């Protein structure tokens, strides 16, 4: 049985809760195309509902998408009926070796406990001098209040025996180290920085809605207690929950050339 997290339960709301503004998506998609080059055969591992793969397909990229979740793939199919898709776990991909010029992932590796196995699968699928691209489309730049709030919540849960931290890759440094160990030349491509405006009430409501996979396995009673604690802590630390705040995010790409 796979230890990766299936997003079946998120298929109906994923697109509405993981937006990618056009002013960010446009340079991001172009950066991917520029890195891969014309005529490349690409695998999008963890393609989901097609947030990244559909814009690439619309621009004529030869792309095949795979995902563990059949419901996410169904949503993608509804939006782009001609997409070539396969249901598969990233650690056990049903393709022959050296089948792709590039493998692409976006917000996937943190969901795979055995992510090193997935990286070796990607390497197996790449042609000589092939390329692995890992997208980070909403990475905080500098101090992020939203990130501090999420960390405090996860630490509170950890004190009660609940691990709500990512089960897979923890950060880019860890990923780069493993890719270099595998023999890749790794670079960090900084595509675009952009602001996000929010309130802490909105952020609290986002956690409360359980749209994030880090909340799915938390027992209801502990989850309710965690929200009560978090609401009180935010009020004490930051005051007005409705005060507009702004973080800086960036669209970045980890590029590994083998």
The structural domains of the chain, with segments of one domain joined by +, span: 8-140+165-196+247-257
Calculate what percentage of the chain has a pLDDT beyond 70.
Answer: 99
DSSP 111: G
For residue 20, the model assigns a pLDDT of: 86
Tokens of 145: 């209040």
| Cβ atoms within 10 Å, residue 25 | 17
**pLDDT value for 18:** 86
Residue pLDDT, tens place only, 124-134? 999 999 999 99
pLDDT higher than threshold 90 for residue 237:
yes
Query: Mean pLDDT across the stretch 58-80?
Result: 97
Q: What percent of the chain has pLDDT over 90?
A: 93
Give the CA count within 13 Å in the CB-facing half-sphere of 215: 21
How many Å apart are CA 243 and CA 238, to the nearest integer?
A: 9
Q: Please state, in angstroms and as integers, the Cα–Cα distance from residue 12 to each residue in 18, 49, 67, 215, following that order.
A: 12, 10, 16, 17
Per DSSP, the three-state class of 221 is helix
Please name the fold of domain 8-140+165-196+247-257: Rossmann fold (3.40.50)
Q: Is 70 exceeded by the pLDDT of residue 1?
A: no
Q: What are phi and psi of 151, to 5 degrees?
A: -65, -40
Classified as helix, coil or strand, 200 is helix
Q: Which residues contact 26 (CB under 8 A, 6 or more apart)?
A: none
Give the per-residue pLDDT at 3: 61
Does residue 256 sit in helix, strand or coil?
Answer: strand
How much is the average pLDDT of 230-255? 96
Say what the pLDDT of residue 225 is: 98
The chain-wide mean pLDDT, for the chain, equals 95
Token pair belonging to 217: 């396995």
What angle is formed at CA 7 by the lines to CA 15 and CA 61, rounded to 5 degrees?
A: 60
pLDDT reported for residue 90: 95
Report residue 143's pLDDT band, with 50, 70 and 90 as the boundaries. Answer: confident
Tens digits of residue pLDDT in 212-232: 999 999 999 999 999 999 999
């Amino acid at each position: 049985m796979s230890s990766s997290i299936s997003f079946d339960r998120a298929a109906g709301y994923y697109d509405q809760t993981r937006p990618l503004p056009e002013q960010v998506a446009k340079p991001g998609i172009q950066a991917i195309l520029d890195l891969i080059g014309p005529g490349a055969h690409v695998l999008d591992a963890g393609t989901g509902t097609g947030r990244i793969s559909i814009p690439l397909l619309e621009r004529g990229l030869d792309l095949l998408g795979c995902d563990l979740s059949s419901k996410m793939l169904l949503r993608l199919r509804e939006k782009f009926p001609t997409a070539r898709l396969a249901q598969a776990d990233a650690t056990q991909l049903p393709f022959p070796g050296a089948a792709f010029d590039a493998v692409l992932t976006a917000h996937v590796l943190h969901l795979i406990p055995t992510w090193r196995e997935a990286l070796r699968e990607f390497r197996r699928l790449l042609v000589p001098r092939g390329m692995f691209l890992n997208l980070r489309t909403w990475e905080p730049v500098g101090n992020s209040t939203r990130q501090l709030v999420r960390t405090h919540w996860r630490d509170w849960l950890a004190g009660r025996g609940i691990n709500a931290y990512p089960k897979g890759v923890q950060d880019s440094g860890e990923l780069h180290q493993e890719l270099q160990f595998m023999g890749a030349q790794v670079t960090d491509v900084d595509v675009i920085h952009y602001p996000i405006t929010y309130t802490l009430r909105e952020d609290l409501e986002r956690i409360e809605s359980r749209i994030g996979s880090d909340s799915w396995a938390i027992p209801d009673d502990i989850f309710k207690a965690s929200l009560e604690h978090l609401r009180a802590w935010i009020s004490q630390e930051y005051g007005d929950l409705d005060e507009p705040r702004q973080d800086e995010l960036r669209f970045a790409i980890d590029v590994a050339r083998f």
